Structure 1
Amino acid sequence: MLMDDSFELAPSGLAVLASDGSFTRVNRAFRDWIGFSEGELLGSGSVGGKRFAELIEGNGDSFFADLSEALAQCEEIADVFLLWRGASGQALPAYVHFALRRGGVGAPAAIHLAAARGESRALQEAELERGKRAAEQLAAIVANSGDAIVSVDPQGAVLNANRAFSEIFQYEPVEIAGAKLADLIVPKEDRAQYEEKLRESFAGPSKARIVRRRRKDGAGMDFSLSTAPIRDESGDVAAISMIYRDIAPLTRAAEHIEFLLREVNHRSKNLLAVVQAVARQTARLSPSPDDFIESFMARLSAIGCSHDLLVSRDWRGVQIADLTRNQFGQLDDEARDRIAVSGDFVEINPRAAESYGLALHELSTNAVKHGALSAPGGSVELRFSLDRDGKFYTLTWRERGGPAVRAPARSGFGGTVLTRMAPLAIQGESVLDFTPEGLRYRLSAPLAEIMMG
């Protein structure tokens, strides 16, 4: 009875054929699929049943003859694709497994078949292919990950490790496989923590934890460790996956951020001090509020130009040529064309950039308002030069062709910047001459004071 139930209730279409191809037995799945009743397939009373050849699209008799001949030789043929002709006339794709079962002495042989729906088979194969591709992609991700990924059995022996694990911990693959992970990379003082982490992993994925591990050469490294169980088909833990992420870049980034915050705090105080000095001196020497606002805003803009360059360079200093172009950006094209810039262009530090920026702003603004650039034929020669020993750096400004020059009765803020603020900030010296031919200015400083350290 049990055998009959298994045959009748099987999910695949099952049938038994006599040697002439007539059906002698069919199960419910086969009947439902083909669309014929058991009586129609097997026959009842004087009415004959269906023959296998009648249910095959194409030349069924020829197909059955070839099948019988092949089974006589090998007795079993798997995965034969064919099209059933259902009761509704619809073609039904199928994959069929045939087996020849010989009877006892004098008993005829029978052909047993098990049929699976073709569309189901295609879906299964597509699903298997998707699963295969997903597994291959996952394997590629693990293999090429920059994180050290390793799996261990429940006792802590290494099952698999990716390339990054070998590279980071400096072990050859043959040294890793089968070894105890604790013996390879866990310092003795951290063994208890490691064993606890291993036990926790049996319950489920664990949150990342900062741990200390050891390379083959004995050097210690800090990692963010994440673990997760790998379960078998029965749900038991077969292995533990561990992902070690090197946190040294994060540590360096945090240290850099802390350094930048200190720098911002320091530079903000310095900048405020400069702005306060500019405001006080500009206010003291301005004849009217409107003149103060105009001069103060122009000087703030000059400071801003220098800082824009420094920010774009991450405060790593600026090229003196770039700083000069930026400061002269306030001038019109005709005035800029009359300034000849030449010499030795070096990279200077942020403190020097602020000083040179203010000096160049005051020189160019004065030249446009009162000096050589205020007259049609006037010109300016700006030169940067290193001395022969490479110890001092000098800015030289010479004006020609402008109106007659006379020394002012009193020094304004521009003169204060050129003769006091700029040289003091870079431990240098300056000379400001009001010669009849045109204004002359020289700012010289030790190279060590203005260069990036």
Structure 2
Amino acid sequence: MVAELRRRLDEAEETLRAIQEGEVDALVVRPSDRQEEVFTLEGGTASYHAFMEAMDLGAAAFDSKSRLLYANKTLRELFNLGVGIVQTADLQDALDDKSRETVTGLIRQAGEAKRTAEIRLVGGPQDLHLQVTAAPLRIGLDTGLAVTFTDITARVRGAAAEASERAAHSIIASANEAVVVCDLDGIVTHANAAVAGIYSGNPIGKRFEDVIPLVLLDTTGLLRASDLVALAVGGASVQGIEATAPEAPRVKDLLMSAAPLRVGSDKASGCVITMVDLSQRKAAEKQQLLLMGELDHRVKNTLALVLSISKRTASTEDTVQGFQSAFSGRIQALAATHNLLADRSWSSISVSEVIAAEIEPFIGQSQSRLQLEGVDALITPRAAIALGLVVHELATNAVKYGALSVEQGKVQVRVSLQEGEDFMRMDWLEVAGPKVAPPTRKGFGQTVITRSMQYMQNGGAELEYAPDGVRCSIRVPIEDVVNA
């Protein structure tokens, strides 16, 4: 269509040039609906008027003072001027200010050589793009101008469509998501580089459902890939459909969207399908479910531990006040370790942090009373909770009866890991305290110390009431020592 318009325009311009320069005396016109006609260009304007009427282009003749002499039927129809004689003012009124200025300037400049410009004719059912050509013309003894108006709307729209398509190609190519364009039959016409993660071959020219076999989730099997194409081609947009691509080389979890493809009209000429990689989101969802399950498990275990502490504390205390003090102290010790672990998203934690959190309520800022060695080892949350309870009971006993009950008393903690052993050793030593004697009865605190680390066979603790100070050797299972 565009090529044909250009050919016809070139022919018309060449004809006008030949007339202007006196190279022809007559013209033969072959209209499609009647016999060919011969027009002579000699002897006045009548023949020239007849020739202009036979032209498919809008044409007008102006005298040397830019007054309109004649406008053919095609021009009158193009500008919706009706029948009869057309005046210069009529032609000017049919143009907007910008187009009128363009045409007037063109006529003024074309006195010696041909001039060409483009204008836009608005106000009709649709805007028209016209190419206006003005050239000097001799009609008989008079000198004037021949002006033609060629409808190039199809060419302009074709160029705009090409530019739009190029822009669309650029957008599709630069998109991070996989984008596929299909025609009305569901044949893939365009695909960007991201599609390679879903289909390893060249998808162009193949049916979409054959290129990317999909399983659409939560659609009870009624909706398939071909249905997405059919819906989009039919004018409906589909968004947010989760799907899996079992045969995809890399990306298997997808979020599908399909929309009609409209270029230059309201009618769909195909569809655009976007496939967003859900791999990371799916992995995050799995991690979230895992964390929720871990949290549920952890909460249940903690509640069971709290219940056990409450029951065992009550069985070893003689008064309500004694129970409240012992129970609240143990729950606070449990909470202190939980707070540390929460700050680290329940990852590994150092032994020194656990000891500092549990013993701080007893010694405050008097860190000189606590001597630590080799306590930078990292342990898992499970071991940290158990160790926190053990340290709390040891500190409580030291404050009541042991080294921390006197001003000069100190506690030494040494952590060591021997090659070949299946546990990490932590030794608690009380020095410079009062003389120690074994308790007359076994309390719950002793049970906490000796049993808390026994959740695995290679864990545990031995408590010794030596006269010069309490000693406790704690074994942390090697499985709970990070990077051991």
Confirm or deny a common fold (TM above 0.5): yes
Aligned to 1:46: none
8 A contact 1:344–1:386 mirrored in 2? no
The answer as to 2:192 corresponding to 1:162 is yes
- 1:228 to 1:289, Cα distance in 2 relative to 1, 3 A: same
Distance 2:178 2:96 in 1: 53
- 1:236 to 1:334, Cα distance in 2 relative to 1, 3 A: closer
Residue of 176, 188, 195 corresponding to 2:226: 195
TM-score, scaled to structure 1: 0.69
Q: What SS class does the counterpart of residue 109 from structure 1 fall into?
A: strand
8 A contact 2:208–2:226 mirrored in 1? no
Q: Following superposition of structure 1 onto structure 2, how do residues 16-415 of structure 1 map, counting pairs within 5 Å?
A: 18-20=63-65, 25-27=88-90, 30=93, 71-78=110-117, 99-100=134-135, 102-110=137-145, 142-171=172-201, 175-186=202-213, 193-203=224-234, 204-213=236-245, 215=247, 221-343=252-374, 345-415=376-446
8 A contact 1:316–1:452 mirrored in 2? no
| Structure 1 residue 353 displacement after superposition | 1.6
8 A contact 1:351–1:426 mirrored in 2? no
8 A contact 1:170–1:215 mirrored in 2? no
8 A contact 1:19–1:110 mirrored in 2? yes
Aligned to 2:18: none
With 385-394 and 248-257 compared, the bigger mean Cα shift is at: 248-257
Distance 1:188 1:161 in 2: 20
More helix by share: 1
| Structure 1 residue 409 displacement after superposition | 1.8
Q: What SS class does the counterpart of residue 365 from structure 2 fall into?
A: helix
Structure 1 residue runs of 5 or longer lacking an equivalent are 1-14, 35-51, 57-62, 81-95, 115-127
Query: 1:152 is aligned with what amino acid?
Result: C
The Cα RMSD (Å) is 4.1
| Structure 1 residue 170 displacement after superposition | 3.4
8 A contact 1:432–1:441 mirrored in 2? yes
Distance 1:407 1:272 in 2: 32
> What percent identity do the matched residue pairs reach?
25
| Structure 1 residue 339 displacement after superposition | 1.1
With 394-403 and 102-111 compared, the bigger mean Cα shift is at: 102-111
Distance 1:438 1:141 in 2: 77
- 1:144 to 1:362, Cα distance in 2 relative to 1, 3 A: farther
| Structure 1 residue 265 displacement after superposition | 2.9
Q: What SS class does the counterpart of residue 224 from structure 2 fall into?
A: helix
Q: What SS class does the counterpart of residue 266 from structure 2 fall into?
A: coil
Distance 2:95 2:114 in 1: 28
- 1:198 to 1:97, Cα distance in 2 relative to 1, 3 A: closer
Distance 2:443 2:171 in 1: 68
8 A contact 1:185–1:214 mirrored in 2? no
| Structure 1 residue 248 displacement after superposition | 3.4
| Structure 1 residue 103 displacement after superposition | 4.7
Distance 1:220 1:377 in 2: 67
| Structure 1 residue 244 displacement after superposition | 1.6
| Structure 1 residue 30 displacement after superposition | 4.6
> How many residue pairs were aligned?
375
| Structure 1 residue 29 displacement after superposition | 6.1
Q: What SS class does the counterpart of residue 433 from structure 1 fall into?
A: strand
8 A contact 2:253–2:282 mirrored in 1? no
Query: 1:347 is aligned with what amino acid?
Result: L
| Structure 1 residue 386 displacement after superposition | 0.9
Q: What SS class does the counterpart of residue 232 from structure 1 fall into?
A: coil
| Structure 1 residue 17 displacement after superposition | 6.5
Distance 1:353 1:74 in 2: 96
Distance 1:141 1:408 in 2: 81
Q: What SS class does the counterpart of residue 169 from structure 1 fall into?
A: coil
| Superimposed CA distance per residue, residues 241-289 of structure 1 (whole angstroms, 9 cap, x where no aligned partner) | 1112233334333333333333233222221221112112222333432
| Structure 1 residue 144 displacement after superposition | 4.6
